[in-house]
Amino acid sequence: MDPVAVAEAVARRSYGKLVAYWAARTRDVAGAEDALSEAFAAALVAWPRTGCPANPEAWLLTVARRKAIDAARRERPVELPSVSRDEGDIPDERLALLFVCAHPAIDESVRAPLMLQTVLGLDARKIASAFLASPAAMGKRLVRAKEKIRQAGIPFRVPERAELGERLGAVLEAIYASYTDVWADPAQVADEALFLARLVAEMMPGEPEALGLLALLLYTDARRAARQGGYVPLAEQDRNLWDGQMIAEAEGLLRAAAAMGRIGRFQLEAAIQSAHVHRCISGVGNWEHVLRLYDALLAVHGSPVVAVNRAVALAEVQGPEAGLAALDGVALPEYQPYWAARAELLTRAGRRGEAESAYRQAIGLERDPAVRAFLQRRAGL
């Protein structure tokens, strides 16, 4: 196999795991990233000449260790301590590092993005898209966060079990963002997010939001087979391709979370997915119920993204003009779903000229070729 292709495949598959493993031992997130970046660069030089190693990840970690030791010798005496943790507390290095990155001394707005880059391997452009920010601004925020960790000496320690609750929200947000950014491709990253969500739910079964996130991802992932081969909107998916076992598990998790009496964002998001599934399977309209759920979600998690989705639900209940009026109160000029929703509602309202302009905006902002082709068909372009 082409050594460059092998290096690229290892980077996609294992970057987050390797950073988590090495950072846990050096207590230096930025240093671990630097050492692994140099190791990958060395691989691109060495592997075409000597051939790919039998265990590429082990090769990269060995080189990263040498790079880290060289850097440490230049700056200070060699000291590569192990992270302080009880191996039985958090059964996965990446999940442990997620909780480390949620340290209260790290600015709240950058905790989840830091996890996405450091632990889950997403680049600044994808992270910026997930958080509706520019890549340049997000890159600067991430660099400043890592520098603060280094200079302030924020302890690289896995929190005690009693501390996990206060850090849980940021961890769940990072796992959710990693899944939603790549839900179509590559499937492996979505599988990793689902795996981490399941680990958190098993580790903290008394936290309803952990159960809610797992339910939300299961509802979404149950429809993966129906989305293959191109973008297929929910209403047009072949329901025979949905995974009934995953949907049943999600329903059970959502009921268990609701019984705890502490409603939160991910439970509400999962309840909305449950309502969509029920409508599609039963054929019984329930948009009024979906709208009430969005009202509750907007009160708990008042993001512009939620406001866009609520406007779509409102249009199903009160008509496209009501939905458009709700969208007028949302300012998301760089958010593709905003323009796609606006274009669809303008079409339904018979405002074709405005709809075509909105479709062009949505098409110009969309990176996924399958979604772009779908929008072009909708627009008749």
Q: What is the pLDDT of residue 123?
A: 72
The residue type of 177 is: A
Q: What is the pLDDT of residue 324?
A: 97
The residue ranking higher by pLDDT, 342 or 186, is: 342
Q: Does 86 have pLDDT greater than 60?
A: no
Q: Does 173 have pLDDT greater than 70?
A: yes
Q: What is the pLDDT of residue 209?
A: 98
Number of neighbours of residue 162 by Cβ within 10 angstroms? 7
Per-residue pLDDT, averaged over 181-210, amounts to 80
Separation CA 137–CA 128 (nearest Å): 8
Closest CA to 358 of 376, 379, 374, 343: 343
Per-residue pLDDT, averaged over 260-270, amounts to 97
* Tokens read off for 305: 């993204």
Q: What is the pLDDT of residue 73?
A: 53
The residue ranking higher by pLDDT, 345 or 155, is: 345
Q: How far is CA 173 from CA 26, 38, 193, in A?
A: 26, 30, 11
The per-residue pLDDT for range 201-231, each reduced to its tens digit, is 999 999 999 999 999 999 999 998 998 877 8
Closest CA to 172 of 269, 89, 261: 269
Backbone angles phi, psi at 49, to 5 degrees: -90, -40
Per-residue pLDDT, averaged over 185-189, amounts to 57
Separation CA 375–CA 214 (nearest Å): 30
Per-residue pLDDT, averaged over 325-353, amounts to 93
Strand partners, 157: 84
Separation CA 352–CA 183 (nearest Å): 31
The residue ranking higher by pLDDT, 22 or 187, is: 22
* Tokens read off for 163: 């501390």
The residue ranking higher by pLDDT, 184 or 120, is: 120
Number of neighbours of residue 128 by Cβ within 10 angstroms? 20
Is this model's pTM higher than 0.85 or not? no
Reported as a pLDDT band with limits 50, 70 and 90, residue 155 is low
Query: What count of Cα atoms within 13 Å lies in the side-chain half-sphere of residue 315?
Result: 22
What's the chain's average pLDDT? 84
Separation CA 272–CA 249 (nearest Å): 16
Where along the chain do its domains lie?
3-75, 286-381
Separation CA 81–CA 253 (nearest Å): 39
Q: How far is CA 53 from CA 35, 50, 60, 180, in A?
A: 19, 8, 10, 34
Separation CA 214–CA 209 (nearest Å): 9
The residue ranking higher by pLDDT, 173 or 20, is: 173
Q: What is the pLDDT of residue 161?
A: 80
Reported as a pLDDT band with limits 50, 70 and 90, residue 80 is very low
**CATH of 286-381 among 3.40.190.10, 1.25.40.10, 3.30.160.20, 3.20.80.10:** 1.25.40.10
* Tokens read off for 129: 């898209």
- Check if the beta carbon of residue 230 is closer than 8 Å to that of residue 374: yes
Per-residue pLDDT, averaged over 284-311, amounts to 95
- Check if the beta carbon of residue 212 is closer than 8 Å to that of residue 267: yes
Q: What is the pLDDT of residue 32?
A: 77
